[in-house]
Chain A
Amino acid sequence: MSQFVEALLLQSGYNAALVTIGAALLGLVAGGAGTFIFLRKRALVSDAAAHATLPGVCLAFMAMVAFGGDGRSLTGLIVGATLSAGLGLYLVEWIARSTRLPEDAAIGAVLSVFFGFGIVLLTFIQTMTAGRQAGLEGFLLGSTAGMLFGEAVTIAVAGCAAALALFVMIRPMTLVSFDPEFAATTGIDVRLTDLAMMALALVVTVVGLKIVGLVLIVALLIIPPATARFWTERVDHLVLIAGAAGGCAGYVGAALSAAIAQMPTGPIIVLTSFALFALSLLFAPSRGVAASLYRHRSFEIRVHRRQGLLAMARGEAIYDHFTLRVLRRAGLMRADGVATAKGLEAADKALRDEARWEIARQTHDEEAAVGRYDGLTPIEDVFTVDEIAMIDRRLRERTGGAH
């Protein structure tokens, strides 16, 4: 535990601190950029891009070796990854546009074929460099053990650039996410904006290769926005919350991985992110599962209370156990089933309101207010005191007329 606290406070060594800060930055940018991917429903396209980085990484390595380098320059590998992921994205778009295959098939095809070809290259490199480790396997699931200062700086610089681009583009991206046609009429180039979104996701992907790995990097783009969606209905808040959730997952996950032996960084960041998601799914106000259950339950109680009161007022017997329980709990009925004074009063009011609504529906038949009749909304919430007084007058006239 103390090791975990130390790691959280960046006290468990230079390398661990670098990784933790890098992961937090990466999570922050991934959450923000992922928000638009999420809103555009392109989540799995970025998975294809992530898997498509592998052949690029391998080819870049081979090219650098061929030109006499040792092939391990992170910048070079990132350039290769970007090129092949870009090609993969283009192919997904091309297949979906110019053949009759649906986009999901294009995604799956690009993902598996690029990855498969990458594996071919990877095994080739393993035999080519027999004896000395190329370390490219680390890009599959991330490997932070031997991160260099220069690599951390590369990640930080790319992360800051992506965050800045995100900040500048936030308005056109928001518009395109919600209403591409309206965005086009306001002079925004929808295709270009879409491209910029994917480019941002691409930057996050290639930068994240070193920390999280290409198999799981898509999780950083998808999970934080899905988490944030439970907490807000506004895009600007969504970006901020998703960024915060992603940054938090990156920070805590990297610290956990530093504190516990044999704990791979990428997967633990993903799991931390998922924990935040699961908590939000269950406990977020209004959109969370617990809140929905509570709403459902309180609606049930209102219905049963209302029906029970009406039955009470009409002197009908109540058999439904739940109704009886609701009435007893509210002190409207005694344990032996006889209405209390408070219950009788409420029952009278329920019956009177029902009659009032009937009048209101006759007199206000074209107004929106009548549409709010659902047998549950108190009539005082819909009509003013004057209106209710008028309704009551009519009610008296009618009952008077009937006698």
Chain B
Amino acid sequence: MGTEFVQLSLMPMLIGVLAAVACALPGNFLLLRRQALIGDAISHVVLPGIVVGFLVTGSITAWPMMIGAAFAAVLSVVLIEAIKRLGRIEAGAAMGVVFTSMFAGGVVLLEQSDTSSVHLDVEHALYGNMESLIWLAADGWGSLIDWAALREMPSQAPRLAVVLVLVAAFVFTFWKELKISTFDEGYALSLGIPALALGFALVVVTAIAAVAAFDAVGSIIVIAMFICPPAAARLMTDDLWVQVAWSVGFAVLSAVLGYLLAGYGPLLAGFDHAVSAAGGIATVSGLILAAACLVGPKRKRVGVVREG
């Protein structure tokens, strides 16, 4: 059990946890700012960015693709804003126009270019391939303190760790400013907080998290983790600190439980093959949210009469 677990399952689980937390942290603020679907849009437009990054550099090393993806994410935000203003079109529709078109462009580019030699396809982009993130150099738990083995671990793990540190640093450094500008933008401006720049920075940090996580686990987990853990946490508490803590807990729980269920559940039930871990993680996060919707202590709206 030990060696095999460390070789095959430890890295996907670790990467899943890192990706989930990196997405859930900014997700809390996106949720409160009514921008939850920005994560959805960004994770769709990452595909054309990655394909263009690959076509320009001709390599599937991580950096050109991540730069391409980040560029596409920023471009999509700019395009959405431009269509909203120039065309006087409602935000949701503008978003729908941009991300579907860019995703379609990505698929066409992918099919038209010769990517058969490399591992780059639409299914991979949608639901990742966590199962391939194996750590063959490891020969047991002891490898975690073995430098030679650590150097051989899938490169997604250290990269996501760096991104997580970056995201956490952003959120906690600008905690007060983010909190004030999220709840009362006018007040934030009167205090001299550059609320608009901060909002844009939040979108950029979201894009970085989405791109890094996407590379490892596919876009479906990215969307689920931006929304489900923070949404469930929102139903647990009225305190922002506590909400963020809950969301991190839910994200970790979804990643671990989802991976284990997808990886070992079918085997225990007598089937031969595991199912998609990415899908499993999204499903577990949905079940957590469903539970929070049914019994979360703060699930009701208070003080506001709902119209209609």
Contact = CB atoms under 8 A, between A and B. Distances in A.
A100 B100 contact: no
A137 interface: yes
B168 interface: no
Interface stretch (A146-154, A268-276, A345-353): A268-276
Interface string B213-231: 0000000110110111001
A268 B110 CA distance: 12
A141 B89 contact: no
Contact of B96 (A47, A141, A263): A47
A108 B227 contact: yes
Nearest to B292: A99
Contacts of A281: 83, 86-87
B275 A124 contact: yes
B300 A99 contact: yes
A222 B93 contact: yes
B93 A226 contact: yes
A311 interface: no
Contacts of A225: 93
A269 B144 CA distance: 50
Contact of B280 (A38, A114, A120): A120
A232 B234 CA distance: 42
A267 B105 contact: yes
Contact of A44 (B35, B83, B92): B92
Interface of A: 38, 41-44, 47, 95, 97-102, 104-105, 107-109, 111-124, 127-128, 130, 137, 140-141, 180, 215-216, 218-219, 222-223, 225-226, 229-230, 262-264, 266-268, 270-271, 273-274, 277, 281, 287, 289, 292
B107 to A, nearest CB: 4
Nearest to B258: A116
Ranked 7 nearest A-B pairs via Cβ: A116-B282, A113-B286, A119-B279, A219-B100, A127-B273, A267-B104, A112-B224
A82 B95 CA distance: 25
Interface stretch (B36-44, B59-67, B135-143): B36-44
Interface in B59-93: 83, 86-90, 92-93
B278 A116 contact: yes
**Interface residue tally of chain B, by bracket?**
35 or more
A43 B105 contact: no
Contact of A108 (B97, B223, B302): B223
A38 B273 CA distance: 43
Given A105-B231, A117-B286, A219-B96, A124 B101 contact: no
Contacts of B289: 109, 113
Nearest to B306: A97
B266 A137 contact: no
Interface string B261-301: 01000100001111110111111011001000100101111
B285 A113 contact: yes
A100 B293 CA distance: 9
B87 A109 contact: no
Contacts of A102: 31, 34, 36
Given A100-B300, A223-B97, A268 B108 contact: yes
A144 to B, nearest CB: 13
A100 B298 contact: yes
Contacts of B92: 41-44, 104
Nearest to B83: A281
B190 interface: no
Interface of B is mostly: helix
Among A120, A230, A266, chain B packs the most CB atoms within 10 A around the CB of A120
A270 B132 CA distance: 32
A104 B271 contact: no
Interface in B22-66: 31, 34-37, 39-40
B276 A226 contact: no
B107 A264 contact: yes
A119 B226 CA distance: 18
B189 interface: no
B96 A119 contact: no
B173 interface: no
8 contacts: A99-B296, A105-B36, A105-B234, A115-B282, A116-B279, A119-B276, A124-B275, A264-B111
A222 B298 CA distance: 35
B165 interface: no
B108 A41 contact: no
A104 B123 CA distance: 25
Contacts of B103: 215-216, 267
B223 A267 contact: no
B272 A127 contact: yes
A218 B293 CA distance: 27
B36 A140 contact: no
B220 A115 contact: yes
B220 A43 contact: no
Nearest to A114: B286
A99 B100 contact: no
A226 B92 CA distance: 11
B77 to A, nearest CB: 16
A98 B279 CA distance: 27
Nearest to A54: B279
Contacts of A222: 93, 96-97, 100
B108 A267 contact: yes
B117 interface: no
Contact of B226 (A108, A180, A268, A287): A108
A266 B280 CA distance: 27
Contacts of B262: 120
A365 to B, nearest CB: 35
B278 A99 contact: no
